[in-house]
Amino acid sequence: MFSNKPLVLVVDDEPIYTEILYELLKERYDILPFGDGESVLAALDDDSPQRLLDRKPNLFLLDVLMPGINGYEVCQRIRAKEAFQHTPIIFLTVKDNLEDELYGFEVGAADYITKPLNPEKVKARVRAHLIQADYRSELEREVEARTREIQRT
């Protein structure tokens, strides 16, 4: 179903934004769209019959204003899962005041981009967060390898 490109989950109840983001990012990333918070949480839940992911997403693009569970709550629930504690979450939203942005960071977002979207800004921030996440993962692997080496000696 997917290639070996990084997997980006796009969660937005407005299909126009999922289409824009798909077109904008499809060359460098595998894109999986969701129309609401409940469906993405079910897709990530190991015990859910709706679980549909065979691999861990590398990044989430998450709208704040959605019917049902809002993006802030989705972000908190994603962060509560150990497997996703360090996966970058970028909010994409029309909520452009400072209090909303600060709250987004408080609940676990790595970044906050306001709509209307600037295509170059979105691409640059997605790329930067994925590079940072790769670097973090590499450091964690190195620390684990050295720890095992120390334990053996």
Res 1: pLDDT: 55
Residue-wise burial string across 97-116, b where 16 or more C-beta atoms lie within 10 A, e elsewhere: eeebbebbeebbbbbbbbbe
Question: What residue spans define the domains of the chain?
Answer: 7-152
In this structure, what are the phi and psi dihedrals at residue 31, rounded to the nearest 5 degrees?
Answer: -115, 130
Per-residue confidence at 99, pLDDT binned at 50, 70, 90? Answer: very high
Non-local (6+) Cβ contacts of 109 within 8 A are 62, 75, 89, 90, 91
- Do 110 and 89 touch, CB atoms closer than 8 A? yes
Of the CATH numbers 3.40.50.2300, 3.40.50.720, 3.50.50.60, 3.40.630.30, which one belongs to the domain with range 7-152? 3.40.50.2300
Q: What is the mean pLDDT of the chain?
A: 92
In this structure, what are the phi and psi dihedrals at residue 59, rounded to the nearest 5 degrees?
Answer: -165, 150
Give the residue, 51 or 143, on which the prediction is more confident: 143
Res 22: pLDDT: 97
**How far apart are the C-alpha atoms of 77 and 124, rounded to whole Å?**
26
